[in-house]
Homo-oligomer: A and B are copies of this chain.
Amino acid sequence: MLLVDDLRNALREFARERDWEKFHTPKNLSMALAVEVAELLEHFQWLEGSESLELDAEKLAKVQEEIGDVLIYLVRLSDRLGVDPVYAARQKLEQNKKKYPADVVRGSAKKYHEYGM
Contact = CB atoms under 8 A, between A and B. Distances in A.
Q: Is the interface of A mostly helix, strand, loop or mixed?
A: helix
A106 B17 contact: yes
Q: Report, as a range, how many residues of chain A touch the other chain.
A: 35 or more
Given A72-B117, A86-B7, A35 B45 contact: yes
Interface string A1-43: 1111001001100100111100101111011111101111111
B92 A80 contact: no
Nearest to A15: B117
The CB with the most chain B CB atoms within 10 A, among A26, A68, A111, is that of A68
A102 B65 CA distance: 22
Given A37-B34, A89-B71, A27 B3 contact: no
